Amino acid sequence: MFQRSPIGKIVSLSSLINEWHLSSTSREPTIIGVDGPAGAGKSSLCVALVSIDPSITIVPMDDFFLPPGLRRAPASEVGRQIDWRRVLDQVVIPLTRQGAGHYQRFDWQSYTLKEWHDVPAGGIVLLDGVYSTREELAPFLAQRMWIHVPGDFGLERGIERDGEVSRAWWMADWVEDEDRYILAHRPEDLADIVINGANGQEHYLRGQYDRLR
């Protein structure tokens, strides 16, 4: 049974986009971290934003997944599943140097790196996914967002989406490290905007979001 989330202030997505455009220039990017636990609805929010403003670029953190056999960082490192160093080197730093980003997408079917993607210089770029506001990336972000969902809401939503067969993988390779990340990097506490993700989809379809902070 899903728990209820608190209700905040309903705000239009267009006003959020306008705020970003006001702080953006043709040379300097506005990089936004859209963070939150698994199943919180991060990608749904990003898609809703792009449907309003197609000039926005989404960079999925899932494209930087690192399979267990390729992880070189020590086991103690938080968030080893996502190669944040590649996010930094191939996307974030080039953009902050007024260049274009260029990265190779991880393919979840073949478990290999596939085609390359370009990220245009300047404009608004959404880093979509958990670990997108981790402390190593945060200094380069114009804004940090956190999508809040109560308890195991996100986990159960993710399993509902991916099937019960995925539960063992979620529990063994994802949830524990996600919890460690939240404790160590405090992404919700340090976020500029906190959104209620429990009923996010119905708001996004109306061009709105439920802002808790």
Using CA atoms, how far residue 177 sits from 4, 18, 75, 162, in Å, is: 24, 35, 10, 19
pLDDT-based confidence at 2, cuts 50/70/90?
very low
- Considering the chain, what is the average pLDDT of its residues? 87
CATH superfamily of 9-211: P-loop containing nucleotide triphosphate hydrolases (3.40.50.300)
The fraction of the chain above a pLDDT of 70, given in percent, is 84
Stretch 135-139: mean pLDDT = 97
Which of 207, 192, 161, 202 has its CA nearest to residue 52? 207
- Please count the CA atoms within 13 angstroms of the CA of 114 that sit on its side-chain side: 10
Q: Domain limits of the chain?
A: 9-211
CA 7 centroid distance within chain: 22
User: Is 29's pLDDT higher than 50?
Assistant: yes
User: Is 184's pLDDT higher than 70?
Assistant: yes
Burial label, 167 (beta-carbon count in 10 A; 0-12, 13-18, 19+): middle
User: Is 79's pLDDT higher than 60?
Assistant: yes
Q: Looking at the chain, how many residues does it have? A: 213
Which of 96, 105, 17 has its CA nearest to residue 54? 17
